[in-house]
Structure 1
Amino acid sequence: MGKYIFGIDVGGTSVKFGLFCEEGSLLEKWEIPTQTEENGKWILPDVAEAILGKWKERGLRKEEIIGVGVGVPGPVSRTGEVPAAVNLHWGYKDVAGELEQALGLKVKVGNDANVAALGEMWAGGGKGAENLIMVTLGTGVGGGIIVDGKIVTGAHGAGGEIGHAILEPGEAEPCNCGNHGCLEQMASATGIARLAGRRLAADSAPSVLRGERVTAKAVFDAYKAGDSVAAEIVEQFADYLGRAMAVYACVTDPEVFVIGGGVSKAGKVLIEVVEKYYMKYAFPACRAARLVLATLGNEAGIYGAAKLVMED
């Protein structure tokens, strides 16, 4: 008799759910809106209600369900407690405790970026690896670090916050975290647009980017078309990211870097240009690490949450 796992990815706009078989196949996925009103007090009751509804609809018995895994956008303690999750309007929240009480099932909770990395290791771009670093290039730069198949959470739940390594301490503009010169300011979608704006303002060199709304996608599209100014911007971005990844590699010696997020839609050219700088800066013993694109997209969180339950 097979067993089942629920994987949950709690986001600021929606909560994604997946029902999995224990060997990893996704049987069904669905989502509900995230009710952040009243300091997010309804989020966990809504999650519990959705799980109980699917449990009943499927006619599952309690002994057939291994447990529930949950990814949330904020730091998470080893016991499944969240000190704060700004996007959910939460202060302290005992996520594991509240859901275990509501469901009577084992519940494991992790930071959403770390959980996504676990998903990519289990069933995505990093499948087969046990030592992996995921780099998520979106509005910010997120990350997740897996060592010997386990998420690196750290003492304060901040393990894997790779976007906040400081690469340019002289940067005048502050990062959202309050520091100056974080990787996130150089390698996120907004960071690439910032680099582009500065480069375009530096002189009048011709570029298809002039007169257009400059986005990370526009920069990479121009780069693929052979635009020399776009090439300078992409090379600068790749230098920052490749250098940061070389530093992380010295600490955990990953088998693979999995690169995801909206910027990764640039595809193979992104991997090629970042790999060039990673190889330039990496400690020789770490140069065997592969750079690959993430493959699970928005489903990485539910896959990783399900895998989290199987970690014990």
Structure 2
Amino acid sequence: MMNYCFGIDIGGTTVKIGLISADGEIITRWEIPTRKGSDPAGLLQDVKNALETCMAEKQIMREDILGIGMTAPGPVTADGVLQNAVNIGWGAVKLAEEAERILGISPVSIGNDARVAALGEAAFGAGKGANSMLMVTLGTGVGGGVVLNGKILMGESGVAGEIGHMTIDPYETETCGCGKKGCLEQYASATGMVRAAERFLQEKDTESVLRNLKQVTAKDLWDTAKAGDRLANEITDFVCDRLGSAIANAIYLVDTEMIVIGGGVSGAGQFLLDKIKKAYQGKVFAHSRNKKFALAELGNDAGIMGAAVLVLSKVE
């Protein structure tokens, strides 16, 4: 008899689901729309329907399922309590308990989406074989996670690794989505990079291909910088200086073996990685400068794979 688990990655637009074998192989993966509301009951019912359909198609019995791992887009405590999930309208909820009740499968293990993605990369991706890893995800927001000896560092209230909301500029006048000012996310997320580009274009008269674009995107910014555009390189240097500062500050606290960069913006590849590493190296002690930097490898599967690890690590 083969054993399986489900990895469930809850996002603001879709819920990614994977049926994963006990040895970490993805048997099948699919997505369903994220149902938003004031509580998770509706979304969990949608997930239940999806899991039951999958089990029927694959002729898998309930006793073959070792458990469910699940990510949530907000701080999660060690006992499975989601503090809030602003993007999908949830407040504080005992998500693990509620999921076990509605899905009818236990155990259900819950973790923050960025932290769980880091766990996936540590177990099956760029961090495989490392004892410790800091992951930074650059997308619509900036997420982070620390993995130490195969386990997520969660913290007492579930915010350990929340590098995107590290205060990087105490003099910032605009407000972050979290309500603070000067968060890393305001500069290093895809939207933050566009905001930085708009500021530079307004404040400088340097010629740039960016001025010919109707609407600059983060991809435009990095593609233009790679092509040698002077202003685009100034902007990306500014962004990476702030990223380098945040990573250096994090390393002074957790001193991980390596740093992994993921998220949609990581599509800029080695060019992005080199800039971040250079900025980081200028902000740490000499003996900490040679940390390994790597690009994430699992892409959209990082969340479901990390969620599977939450289950499989308990079984082991």
SS of residue in 2 equivalent to 1:210 = helix
- CA RMSD of the aligned region, Å? 1.6
Distance 2:185 2:37 in 1: 29
1:95-137 Cα offsets, whole Å, 9 max, x none, are 2112323424211011111111111111112122231111111
Q: Aligned runs of 1:262-281 on 2, under 5 Å?
A: 262-281=264-283
Look up the equivalent residue of 1:157 and give its one-letter code. G
Residues 207 and 227, structure 1, Cα contact 8 Å, conserved in 2: yes
1:243 and 1:92, CA in 2 relative to 1: closer, same or farther beyond 3 A?
closer
Residue 194 of structure 2 corresponds to 193
Residue 47 of structure 2 corresponds to 47
Residue 297 of structure 1 corresponds to 299
Residues 255 and 288, structure 1, Cα contact 8 Å, conserved in 2: no
Q: 1:288 aligns with which of 276, 290, 294?
A: 290
State the shift of 1:191 in Å. 1.5
Residues 108 and 308, structure 1, Cα contact 8 Å, conserved in 2: yes
Look up the equivalent residue of 1:271 and give its one-letter code. L
- Structure 2 unaligned residues grouped into runs of 5+: none
State the shift of 1:53 in Å. 2.6
- Out of 284-293 and 247-256, give the one that drifted further: 284-293
Distance 1:203 1:73 in 2: 37
- Out of 1-10 and 94-103, give the one that drifted further: 94-103
Residue 154 of structure 2 corresponds to 153
Residues 68 and 105, structure 2, Cα contact 8 Å, conserved in 1: no
Residue 122 of structure 1 corresponds to 123
Distance 1:214 1:163 in 2: 22
SS of residue in 1 equivalent to 2:266 = helix
| Percentage of matched positions with identical amino acids | 47
State the shift of 1:40 in Å. 4.2
1:32 equivalent in alignment to 2:32: yes
Residue 230 of structure 2 corresponds to 228
Residues 74 and 84, structure 1, Cα contact 8 Å, conserved in 2: yes
Q: Aligned runs of 1:170-249 on 2, under 5 Å?
A: 170-212=171-213, 213-249=215-251
Look up the equivalent residue of 1:131 and give its one-letter code. S
Distance 1:87 1:171 in 2: 24
Residue 92 of structure 2 corresponds to 92
Residues 48 and 99, structure 1, Cα contact 8 Å, conserved in 2: no
Corresponding residue pairs, total:
312
Distance 1:163 1:9 in 2: 20
Q: Aligned runs of 1:1-40 on 2, under 5 Å?
A: 1-37=1-37, 39-40=39-40
Distance 1:39 1:97 in 2: 13
Distance 1:196 1:148 in 2: 39
SS of residue in 1 equivalent to 2:209 = coil
Residues 67 and 105, structure 2, Cα contact 8 Å, conserved in 1: no
Distance 1:91 1:280 in 2: 40
Look up the equivalent residue of 1:203 and give its one-letter code. K
1:135-175 Cα offsets, whole Å, 9 max, x none, are 11112111111112111111111111101111111111111
1:179 and 1:92, CA in 2 relative to 1: closer, same or farther beyond 3 A?
closer
State the shift of 1:64 in Å. 2.4
State the shift of 1:311 in Å. 2.7
- Structure 1 unaligned residues grouped into runs of 5+: none
TM-score by length of 1: 0.95
Look up the equivalent residue of 1:87 and give its one-letter code. N
State the shift of 1:68 in Å. 0.6
- Out of 204-213 and 302-311, give the one that drifted further: 204-213
Distance 1:104 1:216 in 2: 41
Residue 111 of structure 1 corresponds to 112
Residues 39 and 88, structure 1, Cα contact 8 Å, conserved in 2: no
Residue 56 of structure 1 corresponds to 56
State the shift of 1:200 in Å. 1.7
Look up the equivalent residue of 1:296 and give its one-letter code. L
Distance 1:85 1:190 in 2: 19
1:195-253 Cα offsets, whole Å, 9 max, x none, are 22222222322111113222221221111111111111111111111111111111111
Look up the equivalent residue of 1:3 and give its one-letter code. N
Look up the equivalent residue of 1:114 and give its one-letter code. R
SS of residue in 2 equivalent to 1:45 = helix
